[in-house]
Each structure stands twice: as C-alpha cells, then as structure tokens.
Amino acid sequence: MARANTAAKWNELTLEERRERRQLRREKQREDNIGRAAKMHAARLRMDAKIRKRPPDLKPSVYVGCSGWRYWKWRDSFYAGVPQEDWFAHYLKRFDSVEINASFYSWPTVANVQAWRRQPGKKKFVYTVKVCELITHVRRFKGTKTLIRDFGIIADILGERTGCLLFQLPPSHRYTRARLDAIVSQLDPARRNVVEFRHASWWNDEVYRAFREAGIIFCSCSGPRLPDALIRTADEVYLRLHGPKRWYRHDYSKSELATWADRIKASGAKRAWIYFNNDNDAHAPKNATALRRMLGRVSLMA
C-alpha cells in the first residue's frame, strides 16, 4: 500500500519536478558512494588474508536472466497476483541468475552482499554485479585500481554465487589506446571481468586482442547504433539485450532471438551469460524465458 501511495504521489508531479528529484537523488547517491567505497576498502584489508582470489569453478553452462528483477512495471504481468515481498521468490522459480544493476548507482555494503548470498536459500543461483559508476563514469578508470580491488571483494563474499563483474562505460567514452590500456592494466585477473562499451569505436581488433591476452570478456550488445555481433574474447561470452532500435523497450521476436541463439551456439564458448535489459512492459522476463528454451540447459561445448 505504501509503495502504491508513493507511486500515486510521483504521478502527481510535473515532468520538471520529477527531473529535479531524480537529479537530487543521483547527487546524494554519488556523495554516499565515496563513503561506502571507503568502508569496503577497510573490509577488504581485513578480509584479504582469509579469502580466495579466483572465480568459483562453474560447470560449462548457459545462464539466461534479466538485468534486475524488482520492476514496478512488471506488477501486472510477470508478477501478476504475486505480493511484492514474494517477487524475488517468483523470479527464482524461473531463472538461475540475475544481473544486479542497483550496485551501479549505489555502492553496496558488505551487509547488502551477504543478504544477496542468503536470499536464494538452497537453490543454485548466481549473481552478476554491475560495478559502481564511481569507477566507470565518475573517474572513468583514472587511478581506480584500488577501488576495483575493493569492489572485487563482493565476489569473495558471494562465493559460489558469483557470476561476473560488469564494467559499463558511458556512450561518450570513445576508444583510444590509452583508455584501453587503463582498463586492461587495472582489472584484477583473479575476477571474471566483463566490459561493456556504449560507443561503437570499441568494436575493433586492438580491443579484441588486448582482451584475449588479459582474459577479459567483451560484452556484446543489442542496442541502438552498436554493432550487431557476438564477440568472443575469452572462454565465455556475455550478451546484454537492450533493444536494437530503442533502449529498454524492444520486444524481441522469435526470429531475432533465434538469430542470437544460433550465434551463441556457434561461438565455441564454454559458458554464456545472457541478460535482458529491455525491462519496460515486462518484455525482459518473457524474452529471457523464450531464449532459454531455444538454448536449452546443455553445455555449449561437448
């Protein structure tokens, strides 16, 4: 009821008032992220000697899910008849992985991550975590090696529930050799790192070569003005589906999904990570379910 009242009040605001509130909220989050990062740095220094520094051994497989699961717009479709407190349990029945986007806006606390680990109960479930914008959008990989190591303890806390760490760069971040070197030199090779670019200049052989040598996974994207291709630079492939013509709104047809399924099967990768970020109108869970059926639950490699 409280959530419904909040939504009603939000709808009463003018467009300008909404923008102003969003801006204030984002500024507050960015201020808080500096303090949250400092606390996780202290936590890492305490934990470093106790935890392992490599990704968990996962069986060769295909993970298909959504970029987040808590969307109010899904309440009348994917979550129809499901109480809000049971939304995650409902998602858990249908998918074995989720890509956490909230961590991009608000640097998680250790308590947050521990709660994620407990949340699936006994079910085998893995999280991919989107790295905080403090690293990728505010500082843009300038002097961020310590911050990256600090964020990386999320993977250690999650343990066997760890999928990937997703680094997303802004659309204005064009390719240069210096920027490529900054990314490659700072990423921790002990992690399963994925980098998503939003500018087409990064789809080039120098980037692919550098990522292959460093074992970094190139994030393939279905998005406006981005190359429509599945790029493999490691033993694993990673795909985010935002919508080829409009961000977050596209409803993928059966033929479009079949094309991506064929590319994934032909990639030769031992593992595939696929997340749908077309969350408007609940297209994401519907499309994710359809693609998972096409791919099945078998290993990509014999």
Q: If you average pLDDT over residues 268-281, what whole number do you get?
A: 92
Q: How much is the pLDDT for 26?
A: 73
- Which is higher by pLDDT, 257 or 279? 257
- Residue (of 118, 120, 59) closest to 91 by Cα position: 120
User: By mean pLDDT, which of 34-43, 86-95, 127-136 is the weakest?
Assistant: 34-43
Q: How much is the pLDDT for 9?
A: 62
Given a cut of 60, whether residue 2 has pLDDT beyond it is: no
Could you give phi then psi for residue 236, rounded to 5 degrees?
-125, 150
Given a cut of 60, whether residue 10 has pLDDT beyond it is: no
Q: How much is the pLDDT for 27?
A: 77
CA–CA gap between residue 107 and residue 151 (Å, rounded): 8
Given a cut of 70, whether residue 11 has pLDDT beyond it is: no
pLDDT band (50, 70, 90) for residue 302: very low
Cβ contact 79:88 at 8 Å? no
User: By mean pLDDT, which of 46-55, 56-65, 236-245, 265-274 is the weakest?
Assistant: 46-55
Residue 232 has what DSSP assignment? -
Tokens in use for 37? Answer: 């990062």
150-207: per-residue pLDDT in tens? Answer: 999 999 999 999 999 999 999 999 999 999 999 999 999 999 999 999 999 999 999 9
Residue 208 has what DSSP assignment? H
- Residue (of 220, 163, 224) closest to 197 by Cα position: 220
CA contacts within 13 A on the Cβ side of 193: 22
Q: Count Cβ atoms below 10 Å from residue 22 Cβ, excluding itself.
A: 10
27-76: per-residue pLDDT in tens? Answer: 788 888 898 988 889 989 888 656 656 777 787 699 999 999 999 999 99
- Residue (of 129, 91, 126) closest to 286 by Cα position: 91
Q: If you average pLDDT over residues 267-293, what whole number do you get?
A: 93
Alpha helix locations (H) across the chain?
2-12, 15-47, 87-94, 102-105, 110-118, 133, 145-151, 153-158, 177-186, 205-214, 254-266, 283-295
State the residue for tokens 């077309």.
278
Q: How much is the pLDDT for 29?
A: 84
Could you give phi then psi for residue 98, rounded to 5 degrees?
-145, 150
Domain annotation for the chain: domains and CATH numbers:
2-295 (3.20.20.410)
